[in-house]
Amino acid sequence: MALYISFPSWIKPEIFSFLPIRWYGLMYILAFATAYIFIVIQARNGEIALTKEDALDLVMWCVIGLILGARLFSVLFYDGTTFYLTHPHLIFWPFRDGKFVGLPGMSYHGGLFGAAVGGWLYSRKKRMPFLEIADTVVYSVPLGYTFGRLGNFINGELFGRVSTKPWAMVFPDAPSYSTNYEWVRNIAETLNIPYEIGQYINLPRHPSQLYEALFEGIILFFFLWFVIKPKRREKPVGTGLAWYLIGYGSARFVIEYFRSPDEHLGYVIAWGRGSDTIALFQSIFNISMGQIFCLIMIVLGIAIRLIIRYRRTT
């Protein structure tokens, strides 16, 4: 009996082998369409004064900001090289060596920042309160975010750390590790994986993309849409945004312990044991770049909660 799961061989990044259309791109379209639908639902319910055309404009402003912010944050904080400093014209160029590769590297936190800027510019254009716009958007986006993480899973990317859990999965493109290391041999023996000394083997990992799809997508959506939003008229504007920042930041911070950090970055804060082996979770005091941004989200969400409460009582 297998003690782990192999990545399904029938899952391919391309929708059709003869066309350069990938599931990941389709998932982005589904995510944006889902956000638009839930914004329209809020408008129909009289929660915000937007028409269908206004809702589409709002989504487009946020999407443009998201793409710009996600790509720039990826280059600034995650690239780890000076390539784009000397080749800035290639930051948004989707071709490499004559092949279409899309935009290799998109940061969620950069996308959030960019979408916020886009929403703020839209609010200025429509002369509407930014926090009202922000609440409307954050109630709508988590379910769509689920599609993005499913796209990551289909691509076999952003996988988790090495694990011996029965639902751990071997991702074909994950790095292999030498059995010269004792920890690699220990895991291989635990999982009954045959090996020879000096051999490189691909070990099972947490399917962290699915964890994120569940907690940062589905569960966060249900919490915001069915628990926080029904009290929208009773709560000060900005409540939805605050809870989104706190909820997403907290869920992502915890899941980052199961997700493999970028190989070239490792830990931003390495205060715990085993910080030289990022493939394994060994200490809560080893903090990744993503967790730093999540902490900023949580602090910002708490600050917004305190500020809007203070303003309401004064």
**Residue 160: its pLDDT value, please?**
97
C-alpha–C-alpha distance, residues 269 and 23, integer Å: 35
Count helices and strands (H / E) in the chain. Answer: 10, 8
CA neighbor of 116 nearest in space, from 141, 93, 145, 99? 141
Diameter over CA atoms, the chain: 71
DSSP state of 104: S
**Residue 93: its pLDDT value, please?**
81
**Residue 101: its pLDDT value, please?**
65
**Residue 172: its pLDDT value, please?**
94
**Residue 100: its pLDDT value, please?**
66
**Residue 102: its pLDDT value, please?**
67
Residues in the chain: 314
Residue 311: Cβ within 10 Å count: 11
C-alpha–C-alpha distance, residues 141 and 132, integer Å: 15
Residue 77: Cβ within 10 Å count: 18
- What sign results for the dihedral spanned by CA atoms 93, 213, 136, 298? negative
CA neighbor of 212 nearest in space, from 153, 167, 156, 171? 153
**Residue 71: its pLDDT value, please?**
93
| Two structure tokens written together for 283 | 């200490």
Contact call for residues 149 and 216 (beta carbons, < 8 A): yes
Mean pLDDT by 10 residues, the chain (314 residues): 86 79 86 97 97 97 95 89 81 76 81 97 97 98 93 92 96 96 96 95 97 98 97 94 98 97 90 93 96 98 95 77
- What sign results for the dihedral spanned by CA atoms 127, 132, 134, 138? negative
Q: Where are the alpha helices (DSSP H) in the chain?
A: 23-44, 52-73, 83-86, 108-126, 130-155, 182-190, 208-212, 220-223, 239-255, 289-313
